[in-house]
A and B are shown apart, each in its own frame.
Chain A
Amino acid sequence: MSTLEHEIRSFITDNFLLAEDAASLDGSASLTHGGVVDSVGVVELMHFLETRFGIEITDEETIPENIDTIDNMVRYVSGKLAAADALPSGAGRVDARV
C-alpha cells in the first residue's frame, strides 16, 4: 500500500468509519453508494485531499471517477501531483510531500 493510499484510508477511518478500520475497505467500492460518506462527507474528503496534498480540485473534477472510491482517489491525486511535478518548480502545488 502506498503512503498516499494509507493516508486516505486513515482519513476515512478517523472521519467516517469511526468504529471500524478502513484497511479492510475494498478500494474499488463506492463510498457514497456504500453509505460510508454522504454529501457533507464528500466535501470533507475533497477538503482533505486539497489541503493535505496541495492540489486544487476544480468543479469539473468533482465526479465519482475521481473521488468515489479509494482507488479512484489514489489515481486522481497521483495524476494531479505528477502533472504538478511536470510544471516549472513551484508552479503546480503547494505542499505535496507524500
Chain B
Amino acid sequence: MSTRASELTAEALHLVAETAVRDIATALDAIVLRDLRKKGVVVGLSGGIDSSVVAALCAHALGSKRVLGLLMPERESAAETLELGGLVADTLGIETVVEDITPILEAAGCYSRRDAAIRQLIPEYGPGWKSKVALPSVIDSDRFRIFSVIARSPDGAETRARVTPVAYLQMVAATSFKQRTRKMMEYYHADRLNYAVAGTPNRLEYDQGFFVRNGDGAADVKPIAHLYKTQVYQLAEYLGVPETIRSRPPTTDTYSLPQTQEEFYFSLPYDQMDLCLYARNNGIPAADVAGALGLAEEQVERVFADIDSKRRATRVLHLPPRLIAEVPEVGR
C-alpha cells in the first residue's frame, strides 16, 4: 500500500527534534571520543544551515570546548559568510579561527585556471567580470540538463554560453580547489589539536553526490548525512541556530556571482526536493507526489529520473580507493 499525498506532506519528514539530537549526540560521543579517540572536532563554518547545525550538534554532544569552528573565506565568498559563521560560533560559545584561503587559491591557480576555461567560451571574460554556472530547469521541459556559464561584465551586461566538455571539466577542476583547500586547513587544525573533522553534508547532498571528492566530501564523521534538509532545519530551530541563518536561502558560495543550489545542481527548492527524494526512496508513486507538490505527474517523473541519474553519475564519489588484492590485516 502506498503512502498517500496528504501523509507525504504532513508527516513524512517530521522528526522529534529532542530525540534526534539525543541520538546523534550519543553517536558522536561514541564515534569521536571512543572509536576515533579524538579530543574534539573541527567544523568548517560557512554561515549556512548545515555547518551551523553540525557545529551545534557537536557542541551539544562533546561540549563547546571540544569544538573548533573554522572560518575560511576567499575573495569571492559572499560578504555575509564570515559574519554569519562568527554569529553561530558566538551563539554556541565555540572557539574560532579565521583562515583566508585566497593566497593558497591564487598560488594553486584556482582563479586563473577557471578564468582561462571560461575564456574558451566567452573570450572577452577578464578582470572585473563575475561568473557562475547554471542548469536549465528539469521541471519546465525534458531537455537534457546542460550547464551554461553566465558571466557578468563590469558594466553589468550578462553573457550566457553553453559549456563545452573541456571548458566545463577544467572549470569544475579549478573551482574544486576551494573545497579541497578548506578541507586541507580543517585537517591541519584537526591534526594539531588531535581532533576529528566533522563533515557537513545533509542527505540530499550525500545521496546526490553534491560534494567534491577529497574536498567537502572528506571527513571523519558526518553527523547529518542521514537527515533530509527539511529535518536539518527542524534541528536548527531546536538547537537555537540564529534566525538569520535559518532564513537564509541555501547557496553554493563557490562562484563569484550569487548562485542558488537549485540552479547549480538540484531540480527544485530543497523542501520539494526532499519530498521527491523521500518518495523515490520509499516507492511512493509520482502521481501522489505530484498531488502533494502541485506539479504534474510528468514533472515528478523527470525529477525521479534526475535523482536516479545523479546517483549513477556520482557513485564513484562514495567509493574508497580500490585495492588490487585484499589486505586483511588492515581496517579491523
Contact = CB atoms under 8 A, between A and B. Distances in A.
Contacts of B144: 32, 39, 42, 62-64, 67
Q: Is the interface of B mostly helix, strand, loop or mixed?
A: loop
B313 A64 contact: no
A47 interface: yes
Contact of B146 (A32, A43, A64): A43
Contacts of B143: 59-60, 62-63
Contacts of A85: none
A86 interface: no
A24 to B, nearest CB: 21
A18 interface: no
Nearest to B164: A47
Contacts, number: 43
Nearest to B306: A39
B165 A44 contact: yes
A38 B313 contact: yes
B312 interface: yes
B142 A40 contact: no
A46 interface: yes
Interface string B132-173: 000010000111111100000000000000111100110000
Contacts of A33: 305
A90 interface: no
Categorize the interface residue count of chain B: 10 to 19
A43 B309 contact: no
Interface string A47-79: 100000000000110111001000000000000
A35 interface: yes
B146 A38 contact: no
Q: Is the interface of A mostly helix, strand, loop or mixed?
A: helix
Contacts of B313: 38-40
A38 B165 contact: no
B146 A62 contact: yes
Contacts of B136: 59
Nearest to A64: B142
B134 to A, nearest CB: 13
Contacts of A40: 165, 168-169, 313
B312 A43 contact: no
A93 to B, nearest CB: 19
A12 B162 CA distance: 21
A59 B160 CA distance: 12
Contact of A35 (B141, B145, B312): B312
B287 to A, nearest CB: 21
Contacts of B147: 39, 43
A32 B146 CA distance: 13
Contacts of A64: 142, 144
Given A42-B144, A43-B146, 5 more contacts: A40-B165, A43-B163, A43-B164, A59-B136, A63-B141
Interface of B: 136, 141-147, 162-165, 168-169, 305, 309, 312-313
30 contacts: A32-B144, A33-B305, A35-B312, A38-B312, A39-B145, A39-B146, A39-B147, A39-B309, A39-B313, A40-B165, A40-B169, A42-B144, A42-B146, A43-B146, A43-B147, A43-B163, A43-B164, A43-B165, A46-B146, A47-B165, A59-B136, A60-B143, A62-B143, A62-B144, A63-B141, A63-B142, A63-B143, A63-B144, A64-B142, A64-B144
3 shortest interchain CB distances as A-B pairs: A38-B313, A44-B165, A62-B144
